[in-house]
A and B are shown apart, each in its own frame.
Chain A
């Protein structure tokens, strides 16, 4: 049976519906962000960009910029180590031979855990008194390295990032492993015949050949940093004070706990703008590089 254009449309219809709903919701959120909706019941009182003014220059300015700063910290501190560790592990797994079967699931397990579970576990590990990290330091005679971790407003965000790196490394590893397995085996053999060490092979053969995987990994991780919520909610609840708040957390609290629905929608719009502003240029840049 031949497939016609009509078939294609038929099979795409469900997707189209989803896309329509998604963009419909986005449009609705933008509309809400321009309204003075406070409270449980919808209030359609248009007041232009007032919500954005409150956020960017008014009473919520400090809060917004704290969240924004933390999202940027996530962007800068989270992506590089996750990507690097993932690539490193993937190449390692490619080298170890049969042990891979045992090791691969081990590295993959964290991503299978819910963030609520891993957040709780990490909060216990970071506990300054009873936590495993400080106790490990003390046992090893490195007591001066012990820190208050999540109880320190200046350290807490980095502690959260640490937990996320642990959880996402397996994800990056999987994509890189696929990319490495996709490379023709001849390249590796040629490198070996030329007398390249494993490190040299990694540097000169693997890294230049996994660019497309890097693009996907980094783009996905950027989105993770922009929408991070669960770990913050479980581990610190945005605290101490508001020191670990991120934009999605701020959005949720403003909308559902404080019922500033208009303000919450405005924060969502800012997140959307950020996502588009960060991801689109990155995708464009890396696709051009790949094409070159």
Chain B
């Protein structure tokens, strides 16, 4: 055995003791905020940093323990959270979507009301009423939303539309007419761009079809299970129109994701695509210019233009270890200045009414902000905002199958059976509660 001088031995022991104790002492001394969210992609990560910076400035003694979990719409995060919540080790706050998605956590008693923050920040006046509705269950608010994405945009190739002297369509019928023109004059261009490898973009296209043929009331009723699918003429009509679109879709859509086809659309290999505002960020990043290579218009405009909305929300988990940090975090989210700065980076828009439309540097988001304040806001079906997530999963299977074998009667049977199995009507009662 090698003999060491006594002092060295003592030094090693002391060092070990300090190293072991330091994190514990540090944690005990400092207030923490343990947070889980799914904003991991390029721009999202930086957007989150904007909130972190604002939070740290207001709460310098609270350390943010950040746990980002990648996966669009929080698919993976939900799986992680499920385990943590069931084991009763909740984080101090986590991300969810408003509406049916949030309701799952409320039903499991995993989140506590946030009425204190809601009232203190006067959100009833500062947020649109529909946002309040989408966070209210059993008469109490359960989430603090901070940004909205618009799902009903029609992106189109500017050069192609100028060359063929096409105006951006305002209804699905006009969309089909434009697609026909493109197909006859440019046989190599796919008139309507869509990528269904991840399935959900098919829902975006169906949603605008339903809004165009049935209007927002039918839309809300359909996704909350208030229509008898098998007999309601509105659903059949929407599916028929959806079927009419199929010959004009990019034929290999099953092999592509939405981000795969945004580039070809801007290049002019495809004509137009229905997708959320997040496509704008991707296009700009890839070097395609708004107004030069591509443009976007709210869609449809008739019978009524609406803002089809996806809302990101943070919650207060039941039994969170640092309740003051949670409250501080939620309060920080409602700050109009923070919302404005965050949303410029995130590519969505603020929901606080005090944030001016001119906050955003680009045309698309300025228009989104204007529409948000002036037009009817309808919760999007996507990501389980309006319909329960269980149905959304079945729904995207039904729609992508329909795109390959468009049998309307079979689709109606499938929808009706899925709505029953997924208890769409029962679990949507919250939306119609007064």
Contacts and interface: CB of A to CB of B under 8 A. Distances in A.
Contact of A236 (B78, B86, B197, B422): B197
Task: State the main secondary structure of chain A at its contact with B.
Answer: loop
B397 A39 contact: no
A152 B402 CA distance: 13
Given A59-B417, A256-B78, A241 B252 contact: no
B29 interface: no
B107 interface: yes
Task: State the main secondary structure of chain B at its contact with A.
Answer: helix
Contacts of B108: 39-41
A60 interface: yes
Given A39-B107, A236-B197, A239-B400, A148 B421 contact: no
Interface in B96-118: 104-105, 107-110
A241 B86 contact: no
Nearest to B105: A40
B255 A153 contact: no
Given A41-B86, A240-B400, A60 B421 contact: yes
A241 B394 CA distance: 10
Contacts of B198: 237
Contacts of B417: 59
B393 A257 contact: yes
Contacts of A239: 196-197, 199, 254, 397, 400
A41 to B, nearest CB: 4
A163 to B, nearest CB: 14
Contacts of B402: 241
A123 B198 CA distance: 12
Interface residues of B, number: 39
B254 A150 contact: yes
Contacts of A153: 254, 401, 404-405
B254 A148 contact: yes
B252 A259 contact: no
A260 B388 CA distance: 12
Contacts of A150: 197, 254-255
Contacts of A126: 255
Given A151-B251, A239-B199, A240-B404, 16 more contacts: A39-B104, A40-B86, A40-B110, A41-B108, A59-B420, A59-B421, A123-B197, A127-B256, A128-B252, A150-B255, A153-B401, A153-B405, A241-B400, A242-B401, A257-B390, A258-B393
30 contacts: A40-B85, A40-B86, A40-B104, A40-B105, A41-B86, A59-B420, A123-B197, A126-B255, A127-B252, A129-B252, A131-B255, A151-B253, A152-B254, A153-B405, A237-B197, A237-B199, A238-B199, A241-B397, A241-B398, A241-B401, A241-B404, A243-B401, A256-B75, A256-B82, A257-B390, A258-B389, A258-B393, A258-B394, A259-B389, A260-B390
